[in-house]
Amino acid sequence: MDKWDQRFMHLTEEVGGWASCIRRKVGAIIVRDKRVMTTGYNGAPAGISSCIDRGECLREINHIPSGTHAELCYAAHAEQNAIIQAAKYGVNINGATLYCTHQPCVICAKMIINSGISRVVYKEGYPDEFSMRLFAEAGTQVEKYEE
């Protein structure tokens, strides 16, 4: 990893601190030509109360294991929010790099692949091996960040 990867991963961790999830703080940034295009963190959609606001985690209440049933959560994932932000504001992310604090899940992997992001750099693992298979088949470069 080079100094730019280090800088962008540190920024990704900072963005993750903004998350409104009780269970896990995840941050993502999309970078093109050494410029931050968009940011995202895991949190409830606009107008929806977050788990922090509610004082409880729907997934914990229902004993949903990590890496399963991602749809049973008030929050959108950090990667999803970063891609959505690009679409909302007309930002071209084709060929970009997505930095994320955690390995993307399969739902995020599909969005990343279809958005044209060509490289993913993540720090922490996530129990979703299928996402890694999709990235490999699509030819998306995926790297685990090491300090």
> How far apart (Å, rounded) are the C-alpha atoms in residues 132 and 146?
18
Q: Which residues are CB-neighbours of 77 under 8 A, at least 6 positions away?
A: 26, 28, 40, 42, 70, 104, 105, 107, 108
Q: Is the dihedral of CA 103, 34, 80, 55 positive or negative?
A: positive
Nearest to 128 by CA among 90, 92, 96, 100: 100
Q: Is 71 known to be catalytic?
A: yes
Nearest to 115 by CA among 40, 46, 48, 43: 40
Helix or strand run (H / E) with residue 102: strand 97-102
Q: Which of 13, 56, 60, 71 is catalytic?
A: 71
State the catalytic residues.
71
